[in-house]
Amino acid sequence: MQVPVMDQNGKEIKKIDLPSDIFEVEINTGLMHQAYVRQMAHIRLGTHNTLDRSEINLTKAKWYRQKGTGRARHGAQSAPIFVGGGVAHGPHPRKYTKGMPKKMRRQAIRATLSALLRDQQLVFVDKLSLDTPKTKQMKTILGALAGDVKTLVLVAETNENVQRSVNNLPNAKTLRASYLNIRDLLQYDKVIVPLDALDVIKLIWGQES
């Protein structure tokens, strides 16, 4: 598939062919959802913890005598029904990580890129460069390329001038192309892809032989 390539001013300067094995695969929303849920699950710390009745620092003595009070039988004040007692069936530290085969994870990224291309959310630019970090200038560049929407800017390698300029904007973020992930791709309205970042994507996400 041929797509236009812009310069930093938003003018089309040429067209390029995109590899079909990355940008024209079947858009499997179920697979994309599974990969997204997996990534979000891996972010969870799982450090939440509650004390059950055996961990409450209260006396273990019987609270009051068994018979003759007219009250229900209770063995300890740490029972969950009492204020200050333990928590019944509360959360404890655990891992939320989910397994997913590598081929499925890779195919989910390709399906996401294909969906973004179909919906015209990918913007290809010949290069992004600034002599010094300039937020105002970067805002003008992103406005010309993507408009006033949430924008993800891919970079092929560390570029302090571009990254600092983009990350100062409230609705924009930079991401190394080698760290491409489904959450960031789906969070933004437009994804700006310089050609050097596209080369990284081709190298990493091309179909295995």
What would the mean pLDDT of 74-102 be, rounded to a whole number?
93
Q: Which domains can be identified in the chain, with CATH numbers? A: 2-44+99-205 (3.40.1370.10), 45-95 (no CATH)
pLDDT per position as a tens digit, 46-77? 999 999 998 999 888 888 999 999 999 998 99
Each residue of 126-149: pLDDT tens digit?
989 888 999 999 999 999 999 889
Q: What is the mean pLDDT of the chain?
A: 92
| Neighbour order of strands in the sheet with 172-176 | 12-17, 2-6, 122-125, 190-194, 151-155, 172-176
Quick: pLDDT tens for 2-18: 899 999 888 989 999 99
The C-alpha atoms of residue 76 and residue 53 are separated, in whole angstroms, by 9
Q: Say which amino acid occupies 66.
A: Q
Please state, for a pLDDT cut of 90, what percent of the chain lies above it: 79
Say if CB 49 and CB 128 are below 8 A apart. no
Question: Would you say residue 209 has pLDDT above 80?
Answer: no
Mapped onto helix, strand or coil, the DSSP state of residue 85 is: coil
Task: Select from 155, 151, 141, 142 the least CA-distant residue to 116.
Answer: 151
- Count of C-beta atoms within a 10 Å radius of residue 26: 9
